[in-house]
Structure 1
Amino acid sequence: MRTHRSPRRVAATAAALLVLGLAGCDFFDSKDKAAPEIAFMPYTEGYAGKPDFARLEYQHPLSPDDLYKITPKNLSFLDQEQVDQIYARLSAGPIPDGPFEGDLFFPRGGSGKLRLSEIAGGGLKGLVVNVAGAKLDLVGETLWKGKVFYRGERLLRNRIEDLSALKKLGLVEENDANPLATEKIAGKDQWLLFPAKLYCGQSLLDGRRESIIIDYAFTDELPGYRRMPDLLAGRDGFAIRDEIRMVYPGFYLGRAYMDRSFVVNFVLYNKDIAERAKEEFMKTGKVQEDCWPGTQQRVAAIRSN
């Protein structure tokens, strides 16, 4: 089943995808060689040694200047607790609309490799296809790359740049009656797969305020669903649930969960939005909040002129 959108909407999305394909790479390929200079609270191993998020935010609020120090590259110089402390001081911001570039990142001390086959263990024994080992790892590497948000429909699809590896492993079903839909980005075909529901919901890390949720549980009920490979992200597969919060307009920090267990960090970026909204955000530190900001609303440290 395909989603029928107006020619104007399709043309606008295609144009935005072209711009992203040409201009989004520099953001992910920054030359940072150290962690961002942002304040953190002290912590130790174990739950009892973690700081209270409300106290953290009160003592060390993040200013717009602080937020613009953050890049996908320098996040990898932080450990997971520090990444969590940044995430807890963010709010959801506006639900994104349109295409975003994306990538995984691994904090300091991590393996630098996402291995869903090790994380899943025996948890996929009920899966109706034989998927294991390298196949699982490949799915993980494709799920948290570029995405297209359909804000009005509360729907998301993942952009897959290279489908050949998934096809070679037998993870793509295609026939003349149900051909794969593609978008042309910077002269290259990209496929829109793994549809997900998009809504506001409780963060699994910080319950004081909502995050934007990308939920694959009922992917089989969404327009554009095809059994393989989309089934792998749904409730009969990995049961993937992502949540994101805005670092600054156009840039989101995400956390991916598999069956409610945290698996990896990721980032999403739209250069056009980031450049267009920067001046106003630097002045006020405020944006439209589509999700519940909670009773302990985010503290924004604004510099005085």
Structure 2
Amino acid sequence: MAYDVPQLLGMNQQQLDDLFKANAAGDIPNGEAKGTAIVAPGTRFSDDIAQIINVFGWQGKIFDAQKGVLKNKISAFGVHAIVARVYKDKSWLDDKECIVLDYSDTSFVAKRIRDEIRLIGPNFYLGKVYWNKDRLIDFCLQFEPR
């Protein structure tokens, strides 16, 4: 089944977790992805919050698969900042393989952040954000078709 952003924004937390668990890591992505934060999943506020974050905070990520790194696109100006190492490892959610976006050695600001992503459709990833080992929010990444 193909998913889109509105479907994910309409899911509750259990549905998002089940979708993440049901999919494999996929390949480490390469290139620029549009990001959408999924906050308050399954509520009427989820879409509004996502739009506000997208305009003023975070727009997505730019991956360099060959180097195993990424930069986030942040602020209303789309500044490329906050670097993470990218590699495959076990997910903290279910111990199965995922793609880890690790900020612990690359960013003072996001040192305690770890993202995990899995491929849920063509050019479309679902992610989990952790602060230390506490789950914060979900997000998705959409890459342009190649």
Task: Please state which band the TM-score falls in when normalised by the shorter chain.
Answer: 0.7 to 0.9
SS of residue in 2 equivalent to 1:219:
coil
Runs of 4 or more off by more than 3 Å in structure 1?
A: 109-114
Q: What whole-Å deviation, never above 9, does each CA across 1:105-161 have from its counterpart, x for those lacking one?
A: 2311486459xxxxxxxxxxxxxxxxxxxxxxx8xx735x31100111101101125
Q: What whole-Å deviation, never above 9, does each CA across 1:175-210 have from its counterpart, x for those lacking one?
A: xxxxxxxxxxxxxxx321000110101111111x21
1:215 matched to 2:102: yes
Q: What residue ranges of structure 2 are gaps of 5+ in the alignment?
A: none
Pair 1:78–1:219, CA change in 2 (3 A): same
Q: How far apart in 2 are the matches of 1:258 and 1:267?
A: 17
Q: How does 1:132-151 map to 2 (within 5 A)?
A: 142-143=57-58, 145-151=59-65
Partner residue of 1:81? 14
1:101 matched to 2:34: yes
Tell me the percent identity: 30
Partner residue of 1:243? 116
SS of residue in 2 equivalent to 1:82:
helix
Instruction: Normalising by structure 1, report the TM-score.
Output: 0.43
Q: How far apart in 2 are the matches of 1:193 and 1:109?
A: 30
SS of residue in 1 equivalent to 2:80:
strand
1:269 matched to 2:132: no
Instruction: Normalising by structure 2, report the TM-score.
Output: 0.86
Q: How far apart in 2 are the matches of 1:196 and 1:110?
A: 32
Partner residue of 1:156? 70
Q: What residue ranges of structure 1 are gaps of 5+ in the alignment?
A: 1-65, 115-137, 164-189, 221-230, 274-305
Higher strand fraction (1 or 2): 2
RMSD: 2.0
What letter matches 1:156 in structure 2? L
SS of residue in 2 equivalent to 1:87:
helix
1:255 matched to 2:141: no
